[in-house]
Chain A
């Protein structure tokens, strides 16, 4: 064994402008500053609502990206993990008086266990077959939740008492919610950055790009895949619990719907799959757009917001296959090449 030298990084560590694997960039710090300003600034209620949802969806998109972007496990079933988290913390709080601050961790663990089971069952499936099996698994969970009415309230749903209290994780001020969601977003982002810079992150990239080669290099592919799916489900479930605490109402049709699963996948795809900043940018671009379109056009022309939303998606996918993050990378590369 040769001794590892003290300074092993080739390039000296310094501040970078654009996001890169394994470092913190000025771009990310600026974005964080903007986020804090959005929480602290006295925005009107409806805009605060948009900010809260943007943060929440950013965190959820990041969580999906760990499986879908880093490990290549494209899942259209993440609504199941989201729903398990939301229902677990809510049922514990409403029926058993367990504070959501504890319930959300239990929901996350339950979700991770379900993800492990799903990945092991689908271990031999790849590509479209894996996607379809995750979609089917989420539908099973949705139908289960609809029919197990004694536990979940069935189609009538479950409501959380809107009495503000820190212990019940119900807040009067939207600023508190915005802060809570920002903490979630930042936490998932930090976890993502740690994963992508770690040896485990490398295993995921390798397993995603070529399973045979990764396996021949000593990587246990099943272990890598299962771990990514569990972590992704764990973080998604926490997002589900936070969603429940913000909207104070759950029903299977909205919380475990395929539309929700598609949304989880769409934001990272749009922002830049397999990058840390991509899902965040995806949510920052799309969540406000979709919320604004819904509120401005919702009454006048029902469904028109979806058509515009779809159009934007098509344009981005056609002209920026690497997503927003990919486009930014291209621009910064062109700049560094132009410089002497």
Chain B
């Protein structure tokens, strides 16, 4: 498999804070890569830099073998990188299907064709019943699904999921997990940030751990659970009681 995304020595600072600190990794085509880390670890900043919402302070990103120098979010989207937002950002005055059709316009010549392909995506994420409703009636869980639908409607080669399970019921988590797991087979590479650890640990064959902006572990989930650096990041220092 070829390398889809290559991140080299990427750093992004906010003043004196190094939100992403010298991070390097690569993602192969068809991978399902989990990205975890405590709050404030720099996961969302890393996403924002890859998706063009923030410029890197230093370091390099290459997508599909081509170097990416400070591109804009719409350029990233057109190149094939889709993302969801941790806090859903629906278009408030559009209906559910129109929200998704807007993304589908990227690959469809007409609004009618975009609506048609949006219908298929809505069925995929289980929002078909809400197609014509205004987004204002959607619950948090449904808004998360809408985020996923909008990202998939772009027909991306790489999708960045940002906590799409937060606020979902256990059965919804199950459905969403199987949807995410099915994406690599459809030619969509996935990077997946999640706080619902049991879902990600069971599904992703490879997981990276980010802590204070630095990548402290990268490997199979069963290895991570035994990694002292990861345990330290999540549970703190071991205390000795004399």
Contact = CB atoms under 8 A, between A and B. Distances in A.
Contacts of B93: 205, 208-209, 274
A216 B116 contact: no
Interface in A167-226: 197-199, 202-203, 205-206, 208-210, 212-221
Given A210-B91, A213-B91, A220-B74, A202 B102 contact: yes
Interface in B72-122: 72-74, 76-78, 82-83, 85, 89-94, 98, 101-103, 105-117, 119
Given A10-B119, A217-B77, 11 more contacts: A9-B112, A209-B91, A212-B73, A212-B85, A213-B90, A215-B72, A215-B74, A216-B85, A217-B74, A218-B103, A221-B74
A222 to B, nearest CB: 9
B89 A5 contact: no
A22 B111 CA distance: 10
Nearest to A224: B74
Nearest to B83: A216
Contacts of B180: none
26 contacts: A4-B109, A5-B116, A8-B112, A8-B113, A10-B115, A10-B119, A202-B105, A203-B102, A205-B98, A205-B102, A208-B93, A210-B89, A210-B90, A210-B92, A212-B73, A212-B89, A213-B91, A213-B150, A215-B53, A215-B72, A215-B74, A217-B74, A217-B103, A217-B150, A220-B74, A274-B93
A217 B116 contact: no
A265 B72 CA distance: 32
What 10 A-B pairs come out closest when comparing CB atoms? Answer: A209-B91, A218-B77, A8-B112, A215-B73, A213-B89, A4-B113, A8-B116, A218-B106, A210-B89, A217-B103
Contacts of A202: 98, 101-102, 105, 111
Interface string B121-151: 0000000000000000000000000000010
Interface in B34-89: 51, 53, 72-74, 76-78, 82-83, 85, 89
Contacts of A212: 53, 73, 85, 89
Given A1-B107, A197-B111, A218-B74, A209 B117 contact: no
A10 B103 CA distance: 18
A205 B90 CA distance: 11
A2 B155 CA distance: 12
Contacts of B77: 215-218
Most buried by A among B51, B73, B94: B73
Contacts of A199: 105, 110-111, 114
A8 B97 CA distance: 14
Contacts of A203: 102, 105
A8 B105 CA distance: 14
A216 B82 contact: yes
A118 to B, nearest CB: 22
B154 interface: yes
Nearest to A209: B91
A215 B154 CA distance: 12
Contacts of A213: 85, 89-91, 150
A67 to B, nearest CB: 16
A212 B113 CA distance: 24
Contacts of A4: 108-110, 112-113, 116
A202 B73 CA distance: 18
Contact of A205 (B53, B91, B150): B91
Contacts of B72: 215, 220
A330 B111 CA distance: 26
B94 A206 contact: yes
A203 B150 CA distance: 14
Interface in A19-40: 22
Contacts of A5: 116
Nearest to A72: B93
Contacts of B105: 199, 202-203, 218
A216 B51 contact: yes
A197 B73 CA distance: 25
A217 B111 contact: no
Contact of A216 (B73, B94, B114): B73
Interface in A279-326: none
B187 to A, nearest CB: 14
B115 A8 contact: yes
A205 B94 contact: yes
Nearest to B91: A209
Most buried by A among B78, B83, B102, B150: B102
A333 to B, nearest CB: 11
A9 B119 CA distance: 11
A109 to B, nearest CB: 28
Contact of B102 (A1, A2, A198, A206): A206
Contacts of B90: 209-210, 213
A220 B105 CA distance: 13
A10 B115 CA distance: 9
Contacts of B119: 10
A221 B109 CA distance: 19
Most buried by B among A8, A22, A274: A8
Contacts of B53: 212, 215-216
Nearest to B51: A216
